[in-house]
A and B are shown apart, each in its own frame.
Chain A
Amino acid sequence: GEDVEQSLFLSVREGDSSVINCTYTDSSSTYLYWYKQEPGAGLQLLTYIFSNMDMKQDQRLTVLLNKKDKHLSLRIADTQTGDSAIYFCAESPLTSGTYKYIFGTGTRLKVLA
């Protein structure tokens, strides 16, 4: 079935690196996404990666994609208190000629000062 799985919580100290993991199910997904949700706000697109890439780096963010294991990770370098939020992984599998957009349950990142 279609499912995107993430761990629910992650706690790190300020200045450390955070790694948020996600597993997805459908290899037809062309794009895989990371969204950030701050308290009381909507989801903000952080970054996305094409399925033909293994890695994408954008300033403090590094996305790694392991297509064989259907595993996606988001690494945040030098994590700051402002990075505290919920992070959602999402895939967009092609099903019966149309795309679905499937979100994980979100990982709540807490950054300790």
Chain B
Amino acid sequence: NAGVTQTPKFQVLKTGQSMTLQCAQDMNHNSMYWYRQDPGMGLRLIYYSASEGTTDKGEVPNGYNVSRLNKREFSLRLESAAPSQTSVYFCASNPGQGLSNQPQHFGDGTRLSIL
């Protein structure tokens, strides 16, 4: 049971570099989410996707873009990385449509450091 799979698990970037964080779920869930986790701040929603082909901004979208490639995959892109984007990034999914109140299932995270 893979659930939600994120790649890579760790990444170090230089300021200004770009990269894409990958996320895939095998639970046939409609909705997918990207969060960042920073010390003392809980999880903050970056973007979410209610269904294939739709994406919407969350609480902290600036500096990020997303793509819902198909029902399984939801990627997060940093076009020009900044030190303030050093964080742990989590992808999550749930069967609901959009921002539903159903329990979310999380990947193990990508630990991203930007120098």
Contacts and interface: CB of A to CB of B under 8 A. Distances in A.
Contacts, number: 54
A41 B104 CA distance: 15
B103 interface: yes
B41 A105 contact: yes
B97 to A, nearest CB: 10
B4 A98 contact: no
A109 interface: no
A42 B101 contact: no
Given A43-B90, A101-B99, A88 B105 contact: no
B61 interface: no
Nearest to A48: B103
A99 B99 contact: yes
Given A98-B98, A106-B42, A45 B108 contact: no
Given A88-B43, A105-B41, A105-B42, A44 B106 contact: yes
Contact of A103 (B43, B98, B99, B102): B43
A24 B32 CA distance: 24
Nearest to B50: A98
Given A40-B108, A42-B4, A42-B108, A33 B103 contact: yes
A103 B43 CA distance: 6
A94 B99 CA distance: 9
A104 B109 contact: no
Nearest to A29: B101
Q: Which 8 A-B pairs have the closest CB atoms?
A: A42-B106, A92-B101, A103-B42, A43-B106, A103-B43, A99-B101, A105-B42, A42-B108
